[in-house]
Each structure stands twice: as C-alpha cells, then as structure tokens.
Amino acid sequence: MRTVDLIVAKRDGHAIPTDAIEAFVAGVSSGSIPDYQTSAFLMAVYFRGMETEELVAYTRAMLNSGNTIHLPALASEIKVDKHSTGGVGDKVSLTLAPMVAACGLYIPMISGRGLGHTGGTLDKLESIPGMNVELSAAEFERCVADVGFAISGQTSELVPADKKLYAMRDVTGTVPSIPLIAASIMSKKLAEGLDSLVLDVKVGSGAFMKTLPEARRLAKTMISIGEGMGCRTSALLTDMNQPLGRRVGHANEVFEAIETLRGEGPDDTTALCLALGEEMLQLAGRSQGEAKAALTDAIESGRALDAFRRFVRAQGGDPRVADDPLGILPSAPHKLKVRAGRDGTVSAFDCAAVGHACGVLGGGRATASDTIDFGVGIEVLVKIGDRVKQGHPLFKVTYRDEAKAASATALLSDSVVLSDEPVASRPLVYERLDKNS
C-alpha cells in the first residue's frame, strides 16, 4: 500500500492493514515519508479514529522503532508500573513506587518533564541534590534490580518514532486525538517490558480530560491497547478539580511525598497512593485484602521510606533527604499568604490556574531551555467544602521574586470560587475500568 493509499483509506474511514501501518511508522522513523504525508495521515486519524486492531499495530510499530527495556536479571519477577495523565500537585509516583517495591514488585518507571500547568516527576526529583534522572540502560536495570524500582527519562533510543510523530502532531492541530494520545502513552509504557500497568486518568479543571466521558474514552482506549499487547491493564478515573494534597512545586512535592511515606501525608494523597497501590498488587495476583495489608505494613514498618532512601542513593542523590527533607531540599526565602476576600464555602478551584501560578513563580518552563526554580511553591490551605471567613488564608506562597509573586497571587486569588451555600466534597476515585468494562 502506497502512503497516499493509506491516507485515502483512513480519510474514507477504512481500517488500515497491519503491514501498511508498520511500513508507515518505519517510513516516518527513517525519514522516507515526507512531513506533508505524515501530517495528512494524522489529520485523517484525528477525524476518523482507529479501531483496536489498528491501534495495537500502530503502538507496537512505534515501540519497535527503537530499543526496549530488557531486565534479564528480573525475567521471572513481576514488573508493573503506573501512568498518570497529569495534574496539579500529583506527586503520587514519588510515593507509590517505593510503597509497591517494598511489597515485592519491580517498577521500571520511565517518566517525563512538566507539561503546561502540570509538574513533571523528573523535574521534582531533580530538586534533590545530586539526583540523576537520565540513567543509561545499564544503570536503569541495576537500580531496578537493587532497589525494586527506578525512575528515569526516556532515552533517544526508546520509541523514537513517537518523538517524531508527537512533534508533528504538535504543529498540525492533532494533539487532542484520543487514539493518538493513547498510542503515544502506551508505546512508551509498554517499552518498559511490563507484565501489568495501572492508569491514573485525571478528570476535571486541572486535568487534560475535563469530563468523565472524555476520561472514560481515553482509559478504555489505553486498556484495549495494553491488553492487545499482552499487558494486564486497568484504570482508575480520579478527581483533579482541586490540587492533590497540600503542596504544589518541585521540592514542595518531594517533601509531601516523604511525609506520606512516613504515614503523615494528607488524606487525599495517602488515599490515592493506597488505591493505586492496591490495584497494582491485585493485577500481580494478590487479593484486595492482602494488597491493602501489605501497603499499610510497608509504610508503618518504615520499609517504604527505606526503599525511597535507597532509590535516591542509587541514582546519585543525597539520601539524607528521606530523614531531613527541610534541611536538604531547596526553599525560596520569602513567604506570603493569599486570603479570602469574603466569607463563604469553597465550591470550586480553577485547578489549572494554581498550576500556572506555580509556573509564574519560576516553577515551570515557558520554553524548553528555561531553568526551573525548585525552591518556589504553593501550599494549598483549603479544600472543596471548607467554610472560610473573610481574611482566612487560602494559599501560602514561597517565592524569590516580588514581581513574580504578585502575578502568581493574582492567579491564585481568582482560582478559588466561594459559595454562600454548603458544598459537598468530591469523590477522589470516580470509577475503575478494566478490559471487561
């Protein structure tokens, strides 16, 4: 099938044969297919979608466009990971990986940088002095085998076709395509050589999926790809209509992750880590009761915190951060509070605005070359349903630059909606989905 025939077939709503999809992805990778044909195909997919068989072939072709992660020393062990679609204050990976590793599973976690208003796991980890999140394949394998997990960035050899296709989507208006989003995410995750994968699909004002139907469609699409490629996959649809936990910002979120590993974290952060951890352990064959008991013991015994300490040491960071985060993590010198302008009940957040405010302080990138200030951040002092009086503090801001703080404060002041009526709290987990859903 010529490339033009493939484009025409998809334009007209027909399924593309597997060998034609494989040839297309190979041509994109090699550069033999021109950009104008690649963009035409992506736009056809944007409007016509892909069937499950096509998506599995497309994802597998992207995965096979480069190297995959091999962990021969762990061939007989269960390897599992979690992927979040991104949110504000989402530091779950930093807590969840050591919790699950302390329960005997292995987590080879490839993570990313910040995107838009959402923070990136790699950026957060780099707030720990000395931390190396760009591991070689040998370093990555050694860390997973020795500690139980590793968290590192995507190398240039891992799924290179996705890099090219994503860059093309970014400039052709096809980023919002759910099949293309799902294939991009799953190609990178399945390159880790996983036995099972749990998806945390965020829903709400701080998420990329704003509504439950959108989130449900994305989750089901990713589950179908994972299951079609032999990886047990399930998803939790979780709330992102308010920041997760109390802290937003890089060092700020590492601090909260350590608090949670000590058993002292905010209720919502702790509950979400336990829910996702139980799901990961259940996919590995444990009962819900066994999973819950194992995770609780991992925290109460200190084994989860010790796994985090060993992970930091293995990746070059200062392991004292596990015991003295305030002394080791960077912090900007100035603080201010954003206060309520009137009495009322917190009824809603513009959650994305909170993320943008952290970026304005210096905790994000406007361009790829920007340097992040790890020490700035925001502490969220209220939750939806809380009753406040005029002057009650809503946020505490840690900042370095007065002008940036003023801009961030304006965003934060407008991000909270106060109501005169009582407001019910929101569920943290809306629903669970698997291949049978």
Which domain does 282 fall in, by range?
A: 72-324
Q: What is the pLDDT of residue 354?
A: 96
Flag whether 60 is in a domain.
no
Q: What is the pLDDT of residue 367?
A: 67
pTM above 0.75, yes or no: yes
Flag whether 78 is in a domain.
yes
Q: Do residues 297 and 160 both lie within one domain?
A: yes
Q: Do residues 276 and 339 both lie within one domain?
A: no
∠ Cα 70 22 216 (to 5°): 75
Q: What is the pLDDT of residue 296?
A: 97
Q: Is 83 noted as a catalytic residue in this protein? A: yes
Q: Do residues 222 and 260 both lie within one domain?
A: yes
Mean pLDDT of 81-104: 96
Q: Does 183 score more than 70 pLDDT?
A: yes
Q: What is the pLDDT of residue 425?
A: 83
318-339 residue pLDDT tens:
999 999 999 999 999 999 999 9
The domain that contains 39 carries what CATH number? Answer: 1.20.970.10
Catalytic residue selected from 81, 90, 123, 162: 162
Q: Do residues 269 and 162 both lie within one domain?
A: yes
Q: How far is CA 37 from CA 7, 40, 111, 216, in A?
A: 8, 5, 30, 31
Catalytic residue selected from 164, 169, 250, 313: 169
Q: Does 361 score more than 80 pLDDT?
A: yes
Q: Do residues 176 and 251 both lie within one domain?
A: yes
Q: Do residues 343 and 366 both lie within one domain?
A: yes
Q: Is 156 noted as a catalytic residue in this protein? A: no
pLDDT band at 304 (very low <50, low <70, confident <90, very high): very high
pLDDT band at 73 (very low <50, low <70, confident <90, very high): confident
Q: Does 310 score more than 90 pLDDT?
A: yes
Q: Does 366 score more than 80 pLDDT?
A: no
Catalytic residue selected from 82, 83, 220, 404: 83
47-69 residue pLDDT tens:
999 999 999 999 999 999 998 88
Q: Do residues 312 and 336 both lie within one domain?
A: no
Q: What is the DSSP string of 262-321?
A: TT-S-HHHHHHHHHHHHHHHHHTT--HHHHHHHHHHHHHTSHHHHHHHHHHHHTT--GGG
Catalytic residue selected from 29, 84, 177, 184: 184
Q: What is the pLDDT of residue 157?
A: 86
Catalytic residue selected from 188, 216, 250, 286: 188
Query: d(Cα 99, Cα 16) in Å, to the nearest integer?
Result: 42
Q: Is 396 noted as a catalytic residue in this protein? A: no
Flag whether 142 is in a domain.
yes
Per the structure, how many domains does the chain have? 3
Q: Does 114 score more than 80 pLDDT?
A: no
Q: How many CB atoms lie within 10 A of CB 301?
A: 11
372-425 residue pLDDT tens:
999 999 999 999 999 999 999 999 999 999 999 999 999 999 999 999 999 988
The domain that contains 352 carries what CATH number? Answer: 3.90.1170.30
Asked which of 299, 324, 349 is the last residue of a domain, the reply is 324
Name which of 245, 225, 246 is nearest 235 in CA terms.
225
Q: Do residues 271 and 294 both lie within one domain?
A: yes
Q: How far is CA 333 from CA 124, 321, 330, 373, 399, in A?
A: 19, 19, 10, 12, 7
Flag whether 351 is in a domain.
yes
Q: Does 168 score more than 80 pLDDT?
A: yes
Flag whether 426 is in a domain.
no
Flag whether 427 is in a domain.
no
∠ Cα 254 255 260 (to 5°): 95
**pLDDT over 70 for what percent of the chain?**
98
Tokens matching residue 186: 């799953």
Flag whether 62 is in a domain.
no
Q: Do residues 254 and 342 both lie within one domain?
A: no
203-255 residue pLDDT tens:
999 998 999 999 999 999 999 999 999 999 999 999 999 999 999 999 999 99
Q: Does 163 score more than 90 pLDDT?
A: no
74-88 residue pLDDT tens:
989 999 999 999 899
The domain that contains 92 carries what CATH number? Answer: 3.40.1030.10
Mean pLDDT of 252-261: 98
Average pLDDT of the chain is 94
Q: What is the pLDDT of residue 19?
A: 96
Flag whether 27 is in a domain.
yes
Mean pLDDT of 14-21: 96
pLDDT band at 264 (very low <50, low <70, confident <90, very high): very high
Q: What is the pLDDT of residue 70?
A: 84
Q: Is 162 noted as a catalytic residue in this protein? A: yes
Q: What is the pLDDT of residue 115?
A: 63
Q: Do residues 127 and 42 both lie within one domain?
A: no
Q: How many CB atoms lie within 10 A of CB 285?
A: 12
pLDDT band at 368 (very low <50, low <70, confident <90, very high): low
Q: What is the pLDDT of residue 113?
A: 78
Q: Does 176 score more than 70 pLDDT?
A: yes
Q: Does 104 score more than 90 pLDDT?
A: yes
Q: Do residues 262 and 288 both lie within one domain?
A: yes
Q: How many CB atoms lie within 10 A of CB 138?
A: 8
Asked which of 260, 293, 324 is the last residue of a domain, the reply is 324
Q: Do residues 278 and 246 both lie within one domain?
A: yes
